[in-house]
Amino acid sequence: MMIELISDIGTISAMVYLLLILYIAIGIIRTKPGLKDVQPSVSVVISAHNESQNIGKCLDTILSQSYPPHKFEIIVINDRSEDNTGLILEKYMNDYSRIQIIMINEVKPGISPKKNAIAQGVNIATGDIIATTDADCEASEDWIKKLVSYFTNETGMVVGLAPLKPTAWILSPFACIDTIFGSLIAYGSLGWNHAVTCTGRNFAYRKQLFQEINGFSGIDQILTGDDDLFMMKVARKTNWRIRFMPDPDSTVLSSAPFGWRHFITQRKRHISASKYFSIPVKIGFSLIYFSKLFMFLFLLLVCIMKLNGIIPLTLIISAYLITFILLMIIGLKTRQCRMLIFYPIWEIYYLLGNLFLAPLGFFSRISWGER
């Protein structure tokens, strides 16, 4: 009786997970490529808090874009930086007329610091399209060119690939696979026009859209969520289409965590936003986690008790294999296939990491710019 129950749990878990993966795979197939020769005006908005070590490289990659220089501007919001960020920005502003700087000297009550910074940048932007990235990121040369090509008449928002550069830290490869897995979910779900997840490192929307829904109003007091919660608000409040941009030449790179403190802080920020996800999205992520958990536990019991469940074993192995193939698709686009040699270990890391870090994200405090 017990063996049959364990076998049934393994079978059901694998079937649920396979259905979720099928949903992602079909969504990827449904995703259409970008258009050609579209050149709307663009405002690149970057919020910076104590980013003296990164902001120069970030601006260099944006200034080197293949997009026509007269078609885009750069707006950097220096949000209460206490290092040399301001001095570096002043030099760039003097050298390049396309760069504008906004200074924020104190926290504005009633809105999270980063959302306030982005909103101030959008308010003075002259571009039809707002493209956002972070001050510690490096954009590929064709980033803006590819980004705007996905804005059809019915498209209001575009989400792109934002892989992590591996560091020497031991958990760096797993953080990179985390991002690949997140991109996979975003890619597939947006193929159905379902807003599930995204990253503000490679993110664009029409200024008109931002104004239509009164910016971050309604989610402004939530510290995080200037990307995914904002995207969900757009999906909920408007009829604009949200598209995923899987182009390999449109990636935006950021460094993976470089230590335990950075890693935990980053995970806390990401998980904290999930408290405010819609019920269907929460259910979807829960199904992914628990189906993975029960599949792994079944395999563990097979090894310990030497069970002989051909059907659940076949389904589970198929689920892992299909997941790996889909991750390889993202890995090829982000040139990170080598990270996926750690995929089998990542499956265990995914289960343990979410088990122990989820409570931190839900119950502990975080702050803008925390490292």
Helices marked H in 192-309: 207-212, 228-237, 260-273, 279-305
In a domain, 343, yes or no: no
The yes-or-no verdict on residue 201 having pLDDT over 90 is yes
Q: What is the pLDDT of residues 73-109, one digit of tens each?
A: 999 999 999 999 999 999 999 999 999 999 999 988 8
| Band of residue 303 on the pLDDT scale cut at 50, 70, 90 | confident
What is the chain's alpha carbon radius of gyration, rounded to the nearest angstrom? 21
Contact call for residues 229 and 219 (beta carbons, < 8 A): yes
Find where tokens 């659940």 sit: 312
Contact call for residues 71 and 123 (beta carbons, < 8 A): no
H or E segment at 253? Answer: strand 252-255
Q: What is the pLDDT of residues 309-363, one digit of tens each?
A: 788 899 999 999 999 999 999 999 999 999 999 999 999 999 998 888 877 666 6
Distance between CA atoms of residues 34 and 247, nearest Å: 9
| Model pLDDT, residue 149 | 94
In a domain, 200, yes or no: yes
Instruction: Give the number of domains in the chain.
Output: 1
| Model pLDDT, residue 358 | 76
> Please, what is the angle between helix 310-334 and helix 279-305, to 10°?
120
Q: How many residues does the chain have?
A: 371
Q: What is the pLDDT of residues 245-293, one digit of tens each?
A: 999 999 999 998 888 888 888 888 778 888 899 999 999 999 999 999 9
In a domain, 60, yes or no: yes
Q: What is the pLDDT of residues 205-231, one digit of tens each?
A: 999 999 999 999 999 989 888 999 999
In a domain, 197, yes or no: yes
Tokens standing for residue 367: 């702050």
Average pLDDT, integer, range 45-68: 96
The model's pTM: 0.92
Range of the domain at 64: 33-162+192-256
| Model pLDDT, residue 370 | 47
The yes-or-no verdict on residue 164 having pLDDT over 70 is yes
| Model pLDDT, residue 362 | 65
| Model pLDDT, residue 366 | 60
- One-letter amino acid for residue 362 of the chain: F
Which residues make Cβ contacts (< 8 Å) with residue 344, sequence separation at least 6?
A: none
Contact call for residues 73 and 126 (beta carbons, < 8 A): yes
| Model pLDDT, residue 266 | 80
In a domain, 102, yes or no: yes
In a domain, 26, yes or no: no
Q: What is the pLDDT of residues 13-41, one digit of tens each?
A: 999 999 999 999 999 999 988 887 789 99
Report which of 230, 231, 204 is spatially closest to residue 46, judged by C-alpha positions.
Answer: 204
CATH of the domain at 224: 3.90.550.10
In a domain, 72, yes or no: yes
In a domain, 232, yes or no: yes
Contact call for residues 201 and 252 (beta carbons, < 8 A): yes
